[in-house]
Amino acid sequence: MRLGVLDVGSNTVHLLVVDAHPGARPLPAHSHKVELRLAELLDEHGAVSPEGIDRLVAVIAGAAQAAEDKGCEDVLPFATSAVREATNADEVLARVRAETGIDLPILSGPDEARLTFLAVRRWFGWSAGKLLVLDIGGGSLEIAYGIDEEPYAAASLPLGAGRLTSGWLPGDPPQASDVRALRRHVRAQIARTVGEFSRFGAPDHVVATSKTFKQLARIAGAARSADGLYVQRDLTRKSLEEWVPRLAAMTTAERAALPGVSEGRASQLLAGALVAEGAMDLLGVEELEICPWALREGVILRRLDHLPT
């Protein structure tokens, strides 16, 4: 069957269309992506602005049309951090429902972490042992740990790269004092959760997903996306520690010129790097591997698990 998963995230609205059936690997058939940066369209009260709602409704309508055009039998929509934390979330969801016909469920942060963990577990298999999974989105950082398909522990922190950039790093390049303040904030937030994961002992394999980690790995020397899904891509804490001060000294345009860094995400890369560095340091991670599957694949896999065979 052909399924679509519609991810209304803090940075992008992404429709992923796959051909799938229970027990088989979902095969990507189409990708429809619009960079909306919803996290940056909140007003001073934390509400999505009228302009932001209009844009969101239009983008979701376009994604729904694309899903119909591609022959999707079912579309699995969900929203994450930006809508979840908007003070006018009910208004946003009502407008989306009224004007597009789509009921947009909101995933909790821990559910994001669990579904991402499921995707990573299916990608690497049981031989990977105990997994520690990190994911940096536009609005939040997700951490999960476990040996089964359901993690022992899952946490979500308000440490997304888009959120932190708009709230803490106004300069281009940012002031050194702002970078230091953000570094302290990030590490204090992560430190609160370390005990939830360290009590389970050291993981056998540490994995990261998300565009932020992929771009950080790429600038640190990992293979290009064009080299294929099955090429191993790693990121070491040592290389990340070397890159953070370099990124802090760059303008957005200079970051956008780095290999693998998209123009739309360049402004957020420093904040993402500070979160990645803090998480790896405080969780005792020297090296991690990038996984091509993440939350969207987790949503699809969970749906397939509930289909009759």
pLDDT, tens only, 221-244: 999 999 999 999 999 999 999 999
| Stretch 50-56: mean pLDDT | 94
Q: What integer best gives the mean pLDDT of the chain?
A: 96
pLDDT for residue 309 is more than 70? no
Fold exhibited by the domain 109-295: Nucleotidyltransferase; domain 5 (3.30.420)
Query: What does the pLDDT look like over 273-304, one tens digit per residue?
Result: 999 999 999 999 999 999 999 999 999 999 99
Q: Which of 32, 47, 10 is nearest to 271 (CA)?
A: 10
pTM, rounded to two decimals: 0.96
Full 3-state SS string of 154-212: EEEECCCHHHHHHHHCCCCCCCHHHHHHHHHHHHHHHHCCHHHHHCCCCCCEEEEECHH
pLDDT for residue 112 is more than 80? yes
Neighbours of 75 (CB within 10 A): 17
| Stretch 89-105: mean pLDDT | 97
Query: Residue 308: which pLDDT band, with cuts at 50, 70 and 90?
Result: confident
| Stretch 118-136: mean pLDDT | 98
What pLDDT, on a 0 to 100 scale, did the predictor assign at position 24? Answer: 87
- Six token digits for residue 260: 């693998």
CATH 3.30.420.40 occupies which residues in the chain?
2-106
Name the amino acid, one letter, at 61: A
CATH class of domain segment(s) 2-106: alpha beta
Share of the chain above pLDDT 70, in %: 100
Count Cα neighbours of 130 within 13 Å in the Cβ-side half-sphere. Answer: 11
CATH 3.30.420.150 occupies which residues in the chain?
109-295
Q: Beginning with the edge strand found earlier in the chain, give each strand of the sheet holding 205-209 in spatial order.
A: 153-157, 141-146, 131-136, 205-209, 287-290, 234-236
What pLDDT, on a 0 to 100 scale, did the predictor assign at position 41? Answer: 80
CB 31 within 8 A of CB 16: yes
What pLDDT, on a 0 to 100 scale, did the predictor assign at position 271? Answer: 98
Q: Which of 76, 86, 57 is nearest to 115 (CA)?
A: 76
φ, ψ dihedrals at 122, nearest 5°: -65, -35
Query: What does the pLDDT look like over 145-170, one tens digit per residue?
Result: 999 999 999 999 999 999 999 999 99
Neighbours of 103 (CB within 10 A): 9
Bond preceding residue 173 cis, omega within 30 of 0: yes
pLDDT for residue 130 is more than 80? yes
What pLDDT, on a 0 to 100 scale, did the predictor assign at position 236? Answer: 98
What pLDDT, on a 0 to 100 scale, did the predictor assign at position 232? Answer: 97
